[in-house]
Amino acid sequence: MNYIPKVIGHRGASATAPENTLAAFELAFQEGADGLECDVRLTTDGQVICMHDADAERVAGTSILVADQSYEQLSELDVGAWKGADFKGTRIPLLSELLGKMRPGKKLLVELKTGQETLKPLFDVIDASSIELKQLAIMVFDPEMVKAIKTQRPDLKVYWLIDVKSNWLGRSQLKLADVLDTLVEIKADGLGLRAHSGIQRDMVKAILDADVDLNIWTVDDAAEARRYASLGVSSITTNCPKAMLAAMLR
């Protein structure tokens, strides 16, 4: 059988279910995902919740800012109805609720959408859970945040995220040597790259040879999924786990 990278449900199985909800996370498992990706933010009362956007306009139809609300206020929002009547009444979950639903051996990638103020509450939630740390990785775009997390909690895996840009020829502007140097400097355990045609075999090999996990996001096209599988990446993140697994198993 050909190599199949780990398949991670992007905000759960969010092509079908409302993103970053327990319904989406459960559906991803039902679709055969090897793990989940979620986004977290901090409420005014110090609760770590699963939410991508800074406001609730897109998922709940209200422009209130997450950072200005308590969890009790945010828990009144319906973040499921926009995905259909079947999901009406779906609420924003706490990260602790998701951790309690994790299955043995499944991975969880937690993308931190806020700053250093979230670290202690995040660590407290993780430490209070029963999840094995080997299942978990924290993801951030800021390399200084990667360094800060690894300094405070060297026992946690941390991935550095990069949104790959292109030049006018469509080639990646990513300078591999710079990326590899930074990964060593900040002690990152993984690298997350936005899916891009400029990600090629030599780049993937160099990253993996540096003993760093390589995750590609967000892959919803069958041909793309097969290409990344052929390159040997560690994992792909997708909104539709079932379809991408089927594509790579062909």
Beta strand pairing call for 157-162 and 213-217: unpaired
**Cβ(78)–Cβ(23) below 8 Å:** no
Round to whole Å and give the CA distance between 205 and 220. Answer: 23
Report the mean per-residue pLDDT for the chain: 96
Q: What is the mean pLDDT of residues 122-126?
A: 98
Q: What is the CATH number of the domain that holds 40?
A: 3.20.20.190
pTM to 2 decimals? 0.97
Tell me, what's the pLDDT at 174? 79
Q: Of the candidates 234, 203, 239, which has an alpha carbon nearest to the alpha carbon of residue 216?
A: 234
Domain range for 137 is 6-249
| Tokens 């897109």, located at residue | 58
Is residue 124 situated within a structural domain? yes
DSSP letter for each residue of 25-74: HHHHHHTT-SEEEEEEEE-TTS-EEE--SSBSHHHHS---BGGGS-HHHH
pLDDT in tens, 99-112: 999 999 999 999 99
How do residues 60-116 score in pLDDT, each as one tens digit?
A: 999 999 999 999 999 999 999 999 999 999 999 999 999 999 999 999 999 999 999
pLDDT of residue 71: 98
Count of domains for the chain: 1
The answer as to whether 21 is a domain residue is yes
> What's the confidence (pLDDT) of residue 166?
73
Q: What is the pLDDT of residue 168?
A: 67
- State the DSSP H helix or E strand holding residue 93, giving kind and residue range, or none if neither: none
Supply 19's token pair: 């993103």
Does 34 have pLDDT greater than 80? yes
Structure tokens at 102: 């994790």
Q: Flag whether 143 is in a domain.
A: yes
109/157 Cα distance (integer angstroms): 10
ω into 218 cis (within 30 of 0): yes
- For residue 1, tell me if it sits in a domain: no
Supply the pLDDT for residue 227: 97
H/E element holding 162? strand 157-162
pLDDT at 127: 98
Burial of 153 (0-12, 13-18, 19+ CB in 10 A): middle
With left for phi above 0 and alpha for psi between -120 and 50, is residue 99 left, alpha or beta?
A: alpha
Domain annotation covers residue 107: yes
How do residues 132-188 score in pLDDT, each as one tens digit?
999 999 999 999 999 999 999 999 999 999 998 776 667 777 789 999 999 999 999
Q: Is residue 11 part of a domain?
A: yes
| CB contact set of 151 (below 8 Å; sequence gap of 6+) | none
Q: Does 15 map to a domain? A: yes
Q: What is the pLDDT of residue 1?
A: 61
Q: Give tens-digit pLDDT for 179-222.
A: 999 999 999 999 999 999 989 999 999 999 999 999 999 999 99
Residue 129 lies in a domain: yes
